[in-house]
Amino acid sequence: MAFKIIRNDITKVHADAIVNTANPLPIVGSGTDTAVYEAAGREELLECRKKIGVIERGQSAWTPSFNLEKNGIKYIIHTVGKSYRGGNHGEENVLHSCYVTALKIASELNCKSVAIPLLATGHYCFPKDLALQIAVDEISRFLIEHEVDVFLVVYDSESYKISEKLFDDVEDFLSDNLKSTEEKDDNQIVPIDLDAFIRTSNDTLNFQNTLMLHIAERKLENATVYKKAYIDKKFFSKIISNKDYVPKKHTVMALGLALELPLSEYEEFLASAGYAFMPSSRFDMIIKFCVMNHIYNLINVDVLLYDHGEECFSPS
């Protein structure tokens, strides 16, 4: 199970199924719909689409992939959205349903992977941040229950920031908080009592105990935590069963986000594994911004990392 953002033409993505933004009538629409028909074989796909008939808004249906099978694509899932007209005409409910019904079909077809664009942000003119939040909500719910890789396909990352408002907010935060590696810390080193330091360190919980304590305090299931952190069951078992094992910093950060720790507890959680936020690291400062603003869903976090050219949490 994984979520990953990729830049590509959706007809060239290697996935079991792709999601197409379709016209409710069995005709070839504009944008992505046209691209999918041309890549799959216009006549064959249209003939198959006619057999399905009208697809109601918010609903989805599937066809074979025809010529796209050479790319490893087995199915095309056609979903029908609704134009955004201020938000008072049921548009959001329709878009939620598009994701729910499309992903449900992918699961019923036993797909191991599905590629989906950010729906309704083109011809249907949905505000991008609202469309993104709906996508994140429904994809997150789906991934908690299903072992399927979901790819959010972005066509042009240079001109297309996935989250416009948050991108600007993060930029402001980085400009105020990101320190150059050439800046020097003016804090003086204070002599410490070495014996006292060793005694205090021995009393401190190790990373495994700290992790399990947070899980217990929040009455969470282990599976909920490792799935939210993009970690598989076997790796999570290794983390909690080996007291001498310290995961990489990105893994610790992902677990802290999955636990939804407030900033002070998040920093203590990092410290229990021997890590800390580095003021010279853009990645670290973006994660700090997310924690401070209670952005814990790793899909949202990955969107911000992707928009800023940083490595995402999702597996490569």
pLDDT in tens, 171-184: 889 988 887 655 54
Given this model, what pLDDT does residue 193 score? 52
pLDDT tens-digit series, residues 256-292: 999 999 999 999 999 999 999 999 999 999 999 999 9
Residue 123 has pLDDT above 90, yes or no: no
Share of the chain above pLDDT 90, in %: 70
**What residues are paired with 114 via a beta bridge?**
17, 150
16 φ/ψ sector (left φ>0, alpha ψ -120 to 50, else beta):
alpha
Residue 124 has pLDDT above 90, yes or no: no
Measure the CA–CA gap between 14 and 74, rounded to whole angstroms.
10
In terms of pLDDT, which residue wins out, 116 or 242?
A: 116
CA–CA dist 240, 207 (Å, integer): 9
The single residue listed with the structure tokens 């490595």 is 311
| More reliable by pLDDT, 151 or 184 | 151
Instruction: Return the closest-CA partner of residue 298 out of 90, 143, 176.
Output: 143
Q: What is the pTM (predicted TM-score) of this model?
A: 0.83
pLDDT for res 171: 87
Q: Residue 49 is encoded by which pair of tokens?
A: 């689409």
Give yes or no for residue 1 having a pLDDT over 70: no
Q: How far apart are CA 67 and CA 72, in angstroms?
A: 10
Q: How many Å apart are CA 146 and CA 148, to the nearest integer?
A: 6
Mean pLDDT value across residues 7-23? 93
Return the active site residues: 33
What is the distance in angstroms between the CA of the first residue and the CA of the last residue of the chain?
12
CA–CA distance, 160 with 184 (Å, rounded to integer):
36
How many other C-beta atoms are found inside a 10 Å radius of the C-beta of residue 226?
21
**Distance (Å, whole) CA 60 – CA 80:** 7
Predicted local distance difference test score (pLDDT) of residue 197: 41
Question: For the segment 198-238, what is each residue's pLDDT rounded down to a tens digit?
Answer: 444 455 568 999 999 999 999 999 999 999 999 989 999 99
The pLDDT of residue 189: 43
Average pLDDT, the chain: 89
In whole angstroms, what is the distance from residue 228 CA to residue 207 CA? 19
Predicted pLDDT at 122: 84
Residues 6 or more apart whose Cβ sits within 8 Å of residue 198: none
